[in-house]
Structures are given as C-alpha cells and as structure tokens.
C-alpha cells in the first residue's frame, strides 16, 4: 500500500471521526490500568463518567483495596461485566502491592499476568502510560485494518506490526480511535455499510462481495 493511499485513508477517517470524543481520562499509569480494565465491552465515554468519580478518592492500589470489592462494584456497575471486573481489579491491586511495590509494571509479559489484563489492555497501558511504541489492536481495529488494506497481515500481531510500520507515529493514537469508530458505525462485522462508506473507493473488501478479508 502506497503512502499516498494511507494518507488518503487517514485523512478521510479524520474528517469522519476527528470530532468524536474518544480516549480514556487518566492522571497516572495506575488510573489508566484500571480505566482500561473497565473499558472491556464498554465505551470510553462511559468509563470516563465512572472513573471521574472513582478516582477522586480511589486512585491507588491501597485506596482501592480499602474501598473493597463490594464498594468498588457499586461504583463501576454501569460498565458491564462489573462483578468480574471488580474482582479482577481487587486481585490486581493485591498483586501490584505484593509483587511490584505498588507500581504498575512497564513490561508486556508482566502486565499480561495481572487479573483482568489481556493483551489489548496491556497494549493500551504500554502505549499510553509509558513511552513505548504500540498500537492496541482490538476486534474493530483488526477487522477494519484488514478490510481496507491498511494491514494485510493475518494475525493480530502481524496487523499490529503492519499498522505501526505504515502509519506515521504521531498519528498512532488518533488512527487507533478512528479505526474503532469506523468499525462501530460503518465497517461492522456482520452487515457493513459499504454503500455508505467514505472509504469505499479505497477499499478492497467492498468490491469482494463482503467476503471476510
């Protein structure tokens, strides 16, 4: 894929989703870790509403543990999968205190062992809390990137590497959110709106009778 075409795709996505509210609010690696765990199957907008209240008094492993699983559940219950998340967050706080001196680790293989933290959450923390280059590939980023030809790789890891190679570094964060928005609003998994898609002329998927790319 040429640089010009990538530029056209990014410009189109920006014109479509540049104004959308996106991204998690956080003031520390720990806050981002908790917010990202909460964001599973839940929009950033909703997570931000919850954490704005939660982090006022509970923004460290110690204070979260003082709040307790029940207290935490009451505060995050609108995020979906709340019982599981509350349990995992409490377990993660325990492990941060006992194994990491209360500090969020900056290594992928360590982050991913924390309860409630998978490769997507770990990737988000790595790329946003620490200055470590990464693009978090979730289901939307994965699907949209492959369909429009931004990343021709087949596995999540390959798509991630391809995106990092082809997208200018200063656009990584924005491109990530734009791809997610496009995946939700237009390039959906089951019934993509290819007819109304602004990327149709640039896309290989739309001309292939919607066969999974």
Partner DNA sequence: AACTCGGGGCA
Partner DNA sequence: TGCCCAGAGTT
Footprint of DNA (CB under 7 A): 20, 22, 39-46, 77-84, 88, 112, 114-122, 138-140, 177, 180-181, 183-184, 188-190
Catalytic residue among 56, 85, 138, 169: 138
Cα–Cα distance measured from residue 15 to residue 13, given in angstroms and rounded to the nearest whole number = 5
Q: Which residues contact 187 (CB under 8 A, 6 or more apart)?
A: 140, 143, 144, 147, 148, 193, 197, 199
Where residue 102 falls (left for φ over 0; alpha for ψ -120 to 50; beta otherwise) is: left
CB of 52 to DNA, least distance (A): 15
Q: Nearest Cα to 126, choosing from 149, 110, 107? A: 107
Which residue, 155 or 201, is less far from DNA as judged by CB?
A: 155
Active site residue 185: no
Q: Which residues contact 147 (CB under 8 A, 6 or more apart)?
A: 187, 192, 203, 204, 205, 213
Which residue, 34 or 180, is less far from DNA as judged by CB?
A: 180
CB of 4 to DNA, least distance (A): 27
Active site residue 165: no
CB of 2 to DNA, least distance (A): 27
Rg from Cα positions in the chain:
18
Which residue, 60 or 188, is less far from DNA as judged by CB?
A: 188
CB of 82 to DNA, least distance (A): 5
Which residue, 45 or 201, is less far from DNA as judged by CB?
A: 45
Contact (Cβ atoms closer than 8 angstroms) between residue 166 and residue 1: yes
Residues that are catalytic:
120, 138
């Amino acid at each position: 894929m040429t640089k010009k075409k990538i530029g056209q795709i990014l410009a189109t996505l920006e014109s479509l989703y540049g104004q959308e509210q996106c991204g998690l609010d956080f003031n520390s690696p720990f806050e981002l870790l908790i917010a990202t765990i909460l964001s599973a199957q839940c929009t950033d907008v909703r997570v931000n509403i919850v954490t704005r209240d939660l982090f006022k008094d509970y923004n460290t492993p110690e204070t979260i543990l003082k709040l307790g699983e029940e207290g935490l559940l009451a505060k995050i219950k609108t995020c979906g999968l709340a019982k599981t998340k509350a349990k995992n967050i409490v377990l993660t706080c325990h492990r941060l205190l006992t194994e990491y001196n209360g500090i969020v680790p900056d290594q992928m293989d360590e982050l991913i062992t924390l309860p409630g933290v998978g490769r997507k959450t770990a990737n988000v923390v790595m790329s946003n809390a620490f200055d470590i280059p990464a693009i978090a590939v979730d289901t939307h980023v994965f699907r949209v990137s492959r369909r429009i030809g931004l990343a021709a790789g087949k596995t999540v890891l390959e798509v991630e590497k391809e995106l990092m190679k082809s997208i200018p570094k200063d656009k990584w964060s924005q491109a990530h959110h734009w791809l997610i928005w496009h995946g939700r609003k237009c390039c959906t998994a089951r019934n993509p709106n290819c007819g109304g898609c602004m990327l149709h002329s640039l896309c290989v998927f739309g001309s292939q009778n919607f066969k999974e790319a």
